[in-house]
Structure formats: structure tokens, C-alpha cells
Copies of this chain bind each other. A is one copy, B any other.
Amino acid sequence: MDGSDCPDCSRINEVLSRIGDRWSMLIVISLDYAEVMRFNELKRHLGISQRMLSLTLRDLERDGLVRRTYYPTIPPKVEYALTPLGKSFCAPVRAMGEWALKNLPNIDAARAKFDAEAARTVEPV
């Protein structure tokens, strides 16, 4: 079984296992911000390896979030942009980003506190 009971869980599970990885989200965010970007532009912007970028972009295109436009010039030029579906995905991703912005300090504080207490119970001296 995998998320068998709760139907929402299996759905969310599905979508997260497709486009819920780090690079996909970061690419979507970048494209949302820049409207259109070229391959090496994305690569330099994100610090992603060439291999991961091409793999992730192909998956995003396959899933209908990204539109790839190839110009057979010399040297070749390829532009990536969000489809309407990709743009609609930005809303929840941005919501999560804003939550992150606001709550990362809280997480850090909780983590520091947890670690401090754990250290005390292990080493009471």
C-alpha cells in the first residue's frame, strides 16, 4: 500500500513524485520570473549540472509545464518558457516559498532548541 486510506494523500504523493523535486520547482520559479530563458542561461542561474538540467527540463516539458522552442540557427538557440499549466503551478509553489521566507527563522530556532536539549540529555556532565 502507499497512501491507500486517504485519497488526497495518494494524489499528492503522485504529483510530488513527478514535479516535487528541488530542481523542477526552482526551474519553474525562474521561468515564472524571467518569462523566457535559454538553456545555458538557466544553467548558470541555478548552478545546476548540464545533465540534471536537460533531464529536468525534458520531464517538465513532458508533463506540460514547460514549452520548449527550438530555433535551428547556428549556433542553435533553445528557449524555455512556462505553459499556462506551468504558470498555474507557480501559485502553490510561491505560497510555499513565501511561507519559507517567513518561517525559516522559526524552523532554525526550533532546531537549535531541539539540538541543545538533545545534547543536554546525552551529556549531562
Q: Which residues of A are at the interface with B, using a C-beta cutoff of 8 A? A: 1-6, 8-9, 11-20, 22, 25-26, 29-30, 33, 44-47, 61-65, 85, 88-89, 91-93, 95-101, 103-104, 106-107, 109-111, 113-115
Contacts and interface: CB of A to CB of B under 8 A. Distances in A.
A95 B104 contact: no
Interface SS, A side: helix
A60 to B, nearest CB: 10
19 contacts: A1-B47, A3-B26, A8-B33, A9-B29, A12-B29, A12-B101, A15-B97, A15-B107, A18-B107, A62-B111, A62-B114, A64-B113, A65-B107, A85-B103, A85-B110, A91-B95, A92-B92, A92-B98, A93-B96
Contacts of A104: 11, 14-15
